[in-house]
């Protein structure tokens, strides 16, 4: 395990490649639901008494998510970096990007939730080169309990096409398939992570943009 006394000030997110053929098959892949929200990395440093959230382009959005930051402070860790997605969930259990933008605009933190899917640094350990499945196991042990706005993103090992079909049938945006042995490569768009989008999802989303009068380019923060 690589030791790293200094917690990095900023980490760029690893990015998934769009799959042209659908989710891969085989037990070497872990499949997660793709939530429709804002990708955010979280940095906890108790030495500075700080919890900060950063967008994929490095914008600091900590003030927008103070309530979730308090849940991060409750984790049994002195220093860490998390990767995840801020979302608003409907009553049916689906993420809704339009509702997320409305909540942020209203400064309403009560309906926001942070779904974390990766653990990059923990108490002086750089975990980026540890296999994904190992990182997920450590993350699950860290993010547990009954926090209403902080959740661990679980996975399905193997059965990628079946998992994707289920996600689409339920109205989820899609699936992200990740090699179980893959490291975390900050700032790299890798084929170790493949995203597959449900066919009709973004058509529905464009209708929502027209209804709410919002700009889809804001999704790229």
Q: What is the pLDDT of residues 155-169, one digit of tens each?
A: 999 999 999 999 999
Using CA atoms, how far apart are residues 66 and 53, in angstroms rounded to an integer?
9
Structure tokens at 100: 């997320």
Using CA atoms, how far apart are residues 190 and 182, in angstroms rounded to an integer?
10
Give me the pLDDT at residue 185, please: 98
> How far does the chain reach from its first CA to its final CA, in angstroms?
32
In a domain, 91, yes or no: yes
CA distances from 221 to 13, 22, 191 (A): 12, 26, 22
C-alpha closest to that of 39 among 16, 63, 20, 23: 16
Q: What is the pTM of this model?
A: 0.89
Domain residues for 49?
12-214
In a domain, 220, yes or no: no
Residue-wise pLDDT for 82-137, tens only, equals 999 999 999 888 999 999 999 999 998 989 999 999 999 999 999 999 999 999 99
Backbone angles phi, psi at 86, to 5 degrees: -85, 130
% of the chain at pLDDT higher than 70: 87
147 falls in which pLDDT band (50, 70, 90)? Answer: confident
132 CB neighbour count, 10 Å cutoff:
22
Structure tokens at 85: 């997605």
Q: Of 140 and 199, which is predicted with more confidence?
A: 140
In a domain, 113, yes or no: yes
In a domain, 3, yes or no: no
Give me the pLDDT at residue 93, please: 87
Tell me how many domains the chain contains: 1
> Is 203 an active-site residue?
no
Give me the pLDDT at residue 208, please: 36
User: How would you classify residue 61: left for phi > 0, otherwise alpha for psi between -120 and 50, otherwise beta?
Assistant: alpha
In a domain, 4, yes or no: no
Using CA atoms, how far apart are residues 213 and 169, in angstroms rounded to an integer?
27
In a domain, 195, yes or no: yes
Give me the pLDDT at residue 201, please: 55
Q: Which of 3, 12, 34, 195 is catalytic?
A: 34
Give me the pLDDT at residue 213, please: 45
202 falls in which pLDDT band (50, 70, 90)? Answer: low
Provide the residue count of the chain.
221
CATH number for 186: 3.30.470.30
Q: Are 79 and 46 in contact (CB under 8 A)?
A: yes
Give me the pLDDT at residue 6, please: 78
């Amino acid at each position: 395990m690589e030791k790293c006394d200094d917690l990095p000030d900023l980490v760029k997110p690893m990015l998934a490649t769009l799959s042209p053929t659908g989710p891969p098959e085989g037990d070497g892949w872990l499949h997660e639901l793709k939530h429709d929200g804002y990708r955010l990395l979280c940095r906890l440093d108790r030495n500075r008494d700080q919890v900060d959230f950063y967008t994929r382009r490095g914008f600091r959005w900590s003030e927008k998510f103070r309530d979730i930051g308090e849940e991060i402070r409750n984790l049994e860790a002195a220093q860490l970096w998390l990767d995840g997605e801020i979302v608003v969930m409907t009553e049916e259990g689906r993420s809704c990007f339009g509702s997320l933008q409305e909540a942020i605009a209203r400064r309403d933190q009560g309906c926001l939730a942070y779904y974390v899917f990766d653990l990059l640094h923990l108490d002086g350990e750089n975990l980026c080169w540890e296999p994904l499945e190992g990182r997920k196991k450590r993350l699950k042990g860290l993010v547990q309990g009954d926090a209403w706005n902080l959740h661990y993103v679980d996975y399905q090992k193997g059965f990628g096409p079946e998992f994707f079909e289920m996600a689409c049938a339920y109205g989820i945006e899609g699936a992200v398939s990740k090699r179980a042995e893959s490291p975390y490569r900050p700032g790299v768009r890798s084929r170790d992570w493949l995203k597959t989008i449900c066919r009709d999802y973004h058509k529905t989303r464009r209708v929502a943009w027209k209804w709410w009068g919002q700009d889809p380019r804001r999704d790229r923060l």
